[in-house]
């Protein structure tokens, strides 16, 4: 999670919401890194999770990321939760809950929906205080 928080801090330089993510393979090697790039790239799909999943799929040469863990500083939204399910990610680890847009228990629970054909293991709240503080500082600065 510390590495994901580092990725999140990099997003600050482009005015993006500081969310960071990485994909770790079965051997514990990082095969994908991402941070929010919506503002930088003018891309509505430029969420940290999507960026990391794309990089991991390219590294693997396959869209199937079974056996992999996605680590992200903020609870995924519906788009990202759907991408996690579709990529067959085995585990999801996230930091802060997102009460306004979270889709892993806050507003919805996409990744645990039994109607879908894949459900990753979920570990929530890892370094949540650090992730929340980074987001709180960013949004406080935006309001000034």
pLDDT of 1-48, one tens digit each?
Answer: 999 999 999 999 999 999 999 999 999 999 999 999 999 999 999 999
Secondary structure E strands in 66-131:
69-74, 91-96, 121-124
Give the residue, 144 or 134, on which the prediction is more confident: 134
CA distances from 76 to 20, 61, 64 (A): 11, 24, 19
Q: Residue positions in the annotated binding site for Zn(2+)?
A: 47, 77, 80
Annotated binding site: 47, 77, 80
Give me the catalytic one of 26, 29, 39, 49.
Answer: 49
Q: Do residues 96 and 19 lie in contact, with contact meaning Cβ atoms separated by under 8 Å? A: no
- Give the separation between CA 11 and CA 131, rounded to whole angstroms: 13
The pLDDT tens digits of the residues spanning 84-106 come to 999 999 999 999 999 999 999 99
> Could you confirm whether 49 is annotated as catalytic?
yes
H helices of 13-88, in order, are 38-41, 48-60, 78-86
Q: How far is CA 78 from the centre of its chain?
A: 11
What's the pTM value of the predicted model, to 2 decimals? 0.96
How many degrees, rounded to 5, is the angle at CA 115 between CA 114 and CA 119? 50
């Amino acid at each position: 999670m510390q590495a994901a928080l580092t990725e999140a801090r990099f997003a600050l330089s482009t005015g993006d919401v500081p969310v960071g993510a990485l994909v770790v393979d079965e051997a514990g090697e990082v095969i994908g890194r991402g941070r929010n790039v919506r503002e930088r790239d003018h891309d509505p799909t430029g969420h940290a999770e999507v960026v990391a999943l794309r990089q991991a799929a390219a590294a693997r040469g396959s869209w199937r990321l079974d056996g992999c863990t996605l680590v992200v500083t903020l609870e995924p939204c519906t788009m990202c939760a759907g991408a996690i399910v579709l990529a067959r990610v085995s585990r999801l680890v996230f930091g802060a809950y997102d009460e306004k847009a979270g889709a892993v228990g806050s507003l919805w629970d996409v990744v645990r929906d039994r109607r879908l054909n894949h459900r990753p293991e979920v570990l929530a709240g890892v370094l949540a205080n650090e992730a929340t503080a980074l987001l709180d500082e960013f949004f406080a600065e935006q309001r000034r």
